[in-house]
A = this chain, B = another copy of it.
Amino acid sequence: MNKVFFPESVAVFGVSDSPSNLARVIVENLISCGYKGAIYPVGKRGGSLGDRIIYGGIEAVDAVPDLAVLLVPADTIPQTLEGCGKKGIRRVIIETAGFSEFREDRKRLEQSIREIALAWDMKVLGPNCVGIINLDNCLVLPFYPVDAEAVKRGGISFVSQSGGLLHDIMNRASLDNFGLSKLASIGNKLLVDENDVLEFLISDPATQTIGLYLENIRDGRRLMDLAYSTDKPVIMLKANRSQTSRQIAKFHTSALAGDDEVADAGFRQCGIHRPQDLVEMMDWFRIFTLPLMRGPRVFLLARSGGKAVLLADTAQRCGFELATPSESFYDKVRQKVRAGVINLTNPLDLGDLFDIDFYIEIIREASAEEGVDGVVMVHDYAPGVEVAGTQRLVTEAVRISNIHQKPVVLCMVPDKNDWFPMRALADLPLFMDGDTAMKALAVSRDHFRFCSRKTERPRLQGHDRSVRRTGTSPAVHMDTVQTFRLLASYGLPVADHQLIRSEAEAVEAACRIGYPVALKIALPHILHKTEEKGVRLNLGDEQALLTALRDMKGEAFLIQKMAPSGYEVFVGGKRDLEFGHTLLVGLGGIFVEVYRDVALRVAPIDEALALDMITETRGSAILKGFRGSPPGDIDELCRCLVRVSRLLADNPQIVTLDINPLILFHKDEGCLIVDARIEEDAPG
Contact = CB atoms under 8 A, between A and B. Distances in A.
A531 B627 contact: yes
B433 A306 contact: no
A97 interface: yes
A163 B309 CA distance: 13
Copies of this chain, tallied across the complex: 2
Given A167-B380, A239-B313, A240-B313, A306 B435 contact: no
Interface in A426-440: 432-436
B175 A278 contact: no
Interface in A152-198: 160-165, 167-168, 171-172, 174-175
Interface in A517-553: 528, 530-531
A641 to B, nearest CB: 21
A312 interface: yes
Interface string A350-367: 011000000000000000
Contacts of A83: none
B309 A277 contact: no
Contacts of A171: 380, 383, 413, 415
Interface stretch (A459-467, A499-507, A615-623): A615-623
Interface in A383-425: 383-384, 413, 415-416, 419-420
A626 interface: yes
A174 B126 CA distance: 44
Contacts of A162: 304-307, 309
Please classify the interface of chain A as helix (H, G, I), strand (E, B), loop, or mixed, using the class held by over half of its residues.
loop
Nearest to A305: B162
Contact-residue size bin, chain A (C-beta under 8 Å from the other chain): 35 or more
A622 B590 contact: yes
A602 B102 CA distance: 54
A288 interface: no
A598 B203 CA distance: 50
A310 interface: yes
A314 B164 CA distance: 17
Nearest to A589: B627
Interface of A: 97-98, 101-103, 144-145, 147, 150, 160-165, 167-168, 171-172, 174-175, 213, 215, 237, 239-242, 276-279, 302-307, 309-310, 312-314, 316-317, 340-341, 343, 351-352, 380, 382-384, 413, 415-416, 419-420, 432-436, 528, 530-531, 590, 593-595, 597, 618-619, 621-622, 626-628
11 contacts: A102-B340, A150-B415, A168-B380, A168-B413, A215-B306, A240-B313, A277-B314, A279-B433, A279-B436, A590-B619, A593-B627
